[in-house]
Structure 1
Amino acid sequence: MDPFEASLLVIATIGSIAAAVGAWFQDRNPSAAQLAAVQRKLDLVMDHLGIVAPEDPEVIRHLEKGQMIHAVRAYRKQTGVSLVEAKQAVDRIAAKLHAER
């Protein structure tokens, strides 16, 4: 085996090991979609049981100032949900705040 073939064999072996390790790490880390699905299910269970999670003070602060877009942005940053889900959640929080007043 000449040095060129040996170099190709070493590079191919390292590439194969790197691909295997990458696949292993990808399987070990749940994707954002899986986490979002689990969060939605947890929210449904909490709603069903009547458990109220404390709201993020930053979201409340933005809503009290009338800054809906900033509140949605803060909610998304906190939870990682989609824009639509964050808007719906912030609307529910805002309605709850207005009902308390």
Structure 2
Amino acid sequence: MNTVMLVVIALTGIVAIVTVEGRSSRLDRRVRALDRKMDLLLEHLQVRDDDPQLAQVTALAREGQDIAAIKKYREITGAGLLEAKQAVDRMTP
């Protein structure tokens, strides 16, 4: 009986994790899509973000110093590692 209960609890936990990860990944895709749309709107309106600290991040990214750029971006914005990496990736052509 104890083994069956442990299996049921484990399966319930796995289902919960898969459900949360699915929602998280959908939210991540939605945020990325909104971010791209915002970038397009700002570009169309010719609005620039002249934050000098972000200019440093862009310069580091263009020099191929991705790790330093990600670290600097995280210091400036407080973003998580994945968000910072995605932002730095968008900065380089």
TM range (shorter): 0.5 to 0.7
| 1:17 alignment partner, one of 3, 12, 19 | 12
Question: What percent of counterpart residues are identical?
Answer: 14
Please state whether the residue corresponding to 2:16 is helix, strand or coil: helix
Return 5+ residue gaps in structure 1 as ranges.
1-5, 89-101
* Greater radius of gyration (CA): 1
1:7 maps onto 2:2 in alignment: yes
1:38 maps onto 2:43 in alignment: no
Q: What is the distance in 1 between the residues matched to 2:52 and 2:25? A: 25
Question: CA RMSD, aligned part only?
Answer: 3.7
Which structure is higher in RCO with an 8 Å CA cutoff and minimum separation 6?
Answer: 2
Amino acid corresponding to residue 7 of structure 1 in structure 2: N
Tell me the TM-score normalised to structure 2 length. Answer: 0.55
Return 5+ residue gaps in structure 2 as ranges.
74-83
Amino acid corresponding to residue 53 of structure 1 in structure 2: D
**How many positions carry a matched residue from both structures?**
80
Tell me the TM-score normalised to structure 1 length. Answer: 0.52
